[in-house]
Structure 1
Amino acid sequence: MKSWLLASTLLCSSVSAWAKDTLVILSPHRKSIQEEYVPLFTEYYKKKFNTDVDVQWLDQGGTSDDVRFLRAKFANKSKSSGVDIFWGGGTATFLELQRDGFLDSYQLPAELKTQVPEKAAGIPLYDKTHTWYASAMSSFGVFFNKKIMKMDGLPAPKTWQDLGSPAYNDNISLTDPRRSGSANTMNAIVLQTMGWNRGWELLTTIAGNARSFTHSSTDPIKAVVSGDVGLAMAIDFYALAKIGDLGPDNLGFILPEGQAVLDPDPIAILKGAPNRKVAERFVEFVLSSEGQKLLLLPKGAPQGPKSSSLGRMAVNVKAYEETEGKRISPDNPFTQTGFIMLDLERATKMQRVFNDLVGASLVDPHEDLKKAWKKIAKGPVVDPILRLAFGKPLVSEEDFMKLVDKWDDEVVRNQTINAWVSASREKYKSLQ
């Protein structure tokens, strides 16, 4: 009898251990998102579906790296990448993934769909084909260390243009847009709001003020918090999370006047997802008021994050209603106006060539660029003729757009990039 009970117990334990659902997520999101969402989802999943779920979180280093990883998985017309969810990286990234046929359509349950409107501040929160949904919304601005700025006698910036001031020389940290979707979006905002020539001039002068280009979009945030630099171009939630943790007396964040863009940060189920039902349940959880409160509330608040403030704008109107007066930021994109819309179709079309052009003209020759800027920006006022020569783009907007359709040709791409790098070094050395 005892032997039978023991065998039965072992069998039940084996079945229980085996009866576990799985979810594979590919995401460039920072560690704090993973640490807050995964434990809460596994707890929610066990309670609602009476089953354990094993969440496997993959990240190759940044949005662009994750997209390359996914492309490799879908190579040779594979029907599945072995990954269920792609989460985070900005709308332009998801338009690209959709264009390439990597996303699968999914309709939200009717009740949840009433809580996630079609638009916020005129910005679409999901694609018409329902291949992606905004899981949060992002804005972009300047993050700064108030104590460092005061110590150095520097004024707080108000616009993107301010970052091109010689006063900020060697006091800015930037991210290589070839490794970061948010860096690419911020550069695209500058070009869209200022035009091709003036935009490139500003991006070049900001690069001149940059101490370095990093590989991760979190590194400039860390540099500002530690006081290594005074400022960084930043996505709002990186900045607001740190302000929520360390206080507004130490750190600040501004949305550039007249240049504040609202960009959805989507989540999508991938084509051939091996754990499709679990993926659907995860999307529903992330978009639910319970999941969205993690974005809005400070750490330690009831129903808020436990370890780190996430400081994001949510997409669920019910979550805003239930957190009124308790949020890190009072901002509410469903009631505010004044945001401008980024031309996402154009930004997506330009993205690969644009990132390579920034890399070849600003990042790779950065040492020569900085030497030229140091020579030019000796005082508070820069000679406009020298500034124009320094910031002149390597290619006209018209010629750039012609390259977009040729960029899949690796020979053309590599030859063009090499030519850009050589031309950039030659230009900067001539100005030293």
Structure 2
Amino acid sequence: MTTTTASTRKILMSATALAAAALLAQADARAQGSGQLNVVCSVQDEWCSLISTTFARSAGIKVNVLKRGSGEALAQLIAERSNPKSDVWFGGTGDPHLQAAEQDLTLAYKSPSLAQLHPWAQAQAEQSGWRTVGVYSGPLGFAYNTELLAKKKLPVPRCWKDLLSPALRGEVQVANPASSGTAYTMIATIVQLMGEDKAYDYLKGLHKNVSQYTRSGTGPIKAAARGETTVSISFVHDAPGEQMQGFPIATETPCEGTGAEIGSLSIVKGSRNLENAKKFYEWALTPAAQQLGVAAKQFQLPSNKTTPLDSRIPDFRKIKFIHYDYAKYGQSAERKRLIERWEREVNALPR
């Protein structure tokens, strides 16, 4: 029998280690290629959790979720342009998704399910060159604390002009458009409704009544629900979740007309798990997936026309909408210009 020398044993051990490493690398590659999906999620935490766990269970794919606000998600896609770590971006206001499409950060993908969607969702896809699609929509309006309004003997704000009342001095909260898609939607809506110069005159008048510009778009309605402010400018679909917790909150949509967000869905260009990203994309457009919003206490209008609707979802037929130009106001240069003007002419003013 031949005796194995120490040097031979070392060679054999090294070869075994290399083989094991190769097998692990192959297994990891298989997992990356067929068993995983990395989602940047820009909706509320509970909704992110529901979509990830439900899709993972139904598709047999491991889902890794990174929660990011829509502005933060766009910044991440820009930073990772040369080496994307995410496969798909779910939710958040549509403007940053359109900017990602404009900057070639997302992949053109024309879903066979498009015909099942509302026209506004199909238009979002077409305007982006098929690089994003609408998954939900929600109208912009006002929320108010019913108890505070009654206590202070203030009228219900029903129109944009009502928010300029001297009686509301320090009683209004809205988010900062530099960090919030909600607030940028407000500026773009008012500009389209009034014309740009008149819109900024309006925003200067509103500034006198604003107690705080919050970082988050949901911050003002939560403050109104908890009695920290009387009125907020918010997406009105955020109110039912506050009402379910027992807070005295009610909403109106402006009599002159209002805009709406289109929450969107995009596949990241350079996705390492492209087939899984497409599977998720198609699944997210189904009625079953879109009902998870209500399950997470979120009440936007789903984009699939056949999704059963909860009674707490705003009735779009009863709301006066402007013809919101998503293509124009979703452009990076236009957003930057309007926000810079707001910073210079409005936010810099004393209150």
1:328 pairs with 2:328: no
**How far is the alpha carbon of 1:255 from its aligned partner?**
1.1
2: CA distance, partners of 1:192 / 1:159? 16
CA contact (8 A) 1:176 1:359 kept: no
Extract structure 1 runs of 4+ deviating beyond 4 A.
335-338
1:124 paired residue number: 123
1:252 aligned counterpart, secondary structure: strand
CA contact (8 A) 1:123 1:341 kept: no
2: CA distance, partners of 1:269 / 1:228? 39
1:313 pairs with 2:317: no
Query: Which amino acid counterpart does residue 54 of structure 2 have in structure 1?
Result: L
| 1:52–1:64 CA distance, 2 compared to 1 (3 A) | closer
1:126 aligned counterpart, secondary structure: helix
- Equivalent residue in structure 2 for 1:64, among 57, 71, 74: 71
| 1:161–1:336 CA distance, 2 compared to 1 (3 A) | closer
1:234 aligned counterpart, secondary structure: strand
**How far is the alpha carbon of 1:211 from its aligned partner?**
1.0
**How far is the alpha carbon of 1:285 from its aligned partner?**
1.8
CA contact (8 A) 2:47 2:292 kept: no
**How far is the alpha carbon of 1:130 from its aligned partner?**
1.8
Moved more, 154-163 or 19-28: 19-28
TM-score norm. by structure 2 comes to 0.83
2: CA distance, partners of 1:34 / 1:265? 14
1:282 aligned counterpart, secondary structure: helix
2:281 paired residue number: 283
1:83 pairs with 2:86: yes
CA contact (8 A) 2:109 2:130 kept: yes
1:271 aligned counterpart, secondary structure: coil
1: CA distance, partners of 2:227 / 2:252? 18
Query: Which amino acid counterpart does residue 53 of structure 1 have in structure 2?
Result: K
Query: Which amino acid counterpart does residue 198 of structure 2 have in structure 1?
Result: R
2:116 paired residue number: 115
**How far is the alpha carbon of 1:265 from its aligned partner?**
1.5
**How far is the alpha carbon of 1:207 from its aligned partner?**
1.7
Matching of residues 35-50 of structure 1 within 5 Å:
35-45=49-59
CA contact (8 A) 2:186 2:259 kept: no
2: CA distance, partners of 1:148 / 1:336? 26
| 1:146–1:33 CA distance, 2 compared to 1 (3 A) | same
TM-score norm. by structure 1 comes to 0.68
1:317 aligned counterpart, secondary structure: coil
2:219 paired residue number: 219
RMSD between aligned residues = 2.5
| 1:232–1:268 CA distance, 2 compared to 1 (3 A) | same
Query: Which amino acid counterpart does residue 182 of structure 1 have in structure 2?
Result: T
**How far is the alpha carbon of 1:177 from its aligned partner?**
0.7
Q: Deviations over 1:137-196 (max 9, x none)?
A: 121011111111111111111112211111111111121111011211111111110112
1:137 aligned counterpart, secondary structure: strand
Matching of residues 127-276 of structure 1 within 5 Å:
127=126, 129-243=129-243, 245-246=244-245, 250-276=248-274
| 1:71–1:253 CA distance, 2 compared to 1 (3 A) | same
Q: What is the percent sequence identity of the aligned residues?
A: 20
CA contact (8 A) 1:89 1:182 kept: no
Query: Which amino acid counterpart does residue 194 of structure 1 have in structure 2?
Result: M
Q: Whose relative contact order is higher, 1 or 2, with alpha carbons under 8 Å and at least 6 apart?
A: 2
1:29 pairs with 2:30: no
1:356 paired residue number: 340
2: CA distance, partners of 1:330 / 1:193? 21
2: CA distance, partners of 1:35 / 1:124? 28
1:228 aligned counterpart, secondary structure: coil
CA contact (8 A) 1:223 1:229 kept: yes
CA contact (8 A) 1:141 1:236 kept: yes
**How far is the alpha carbon of 1:100 from its aligned partner?**
0.9
CA contact (8 A) 1:123 1:263 kept: no
| 1:337–1:181 CA distance, 2 compared to 1 (3 A) | closer
CA contact (8 A) 1:262 1:341 kept: no
**How far is the alpha carbon of 1:125 from its aligned partner?**
4.4
2: CA distance, partners of 1:199 / 1:336? 25
**How far is the alpha carbon of 1:329 from its aligned partner?**
2.9
Query: Which amino acid counterpart does residue 346 of structure 1 have in structure 2?
Result: K
Q: Deviations over 1:360-383 (max 9, x none)?
A: 3333x3xx521xxxxxxxxxxxxx
Query: Which amino acid counterpart does residue 84 of structure 1 have in structure 2?
Result: D
2:95 paired residue number: 92
**How far is the alpha carbon of 1:136 from its aligned partner?**
0.4
1: CA distance, partners of 2:122 / 2:248? 32
Q: Give the gaps of 5 or more residues in structure 2.
A: 1-22
Query: Which amino acid counterpart does residue 230 of structure 2 have in structure 1?
Result: G
**How far is the alpha carbon of 1:58 from its aligned partner?**
3.5
CA contact (8 A) 1:240 1:253 kept: no
Q: Give the gaps of 5 or more residues in structure 1.
A: 1-10, 46-50, 298-304, 371-432
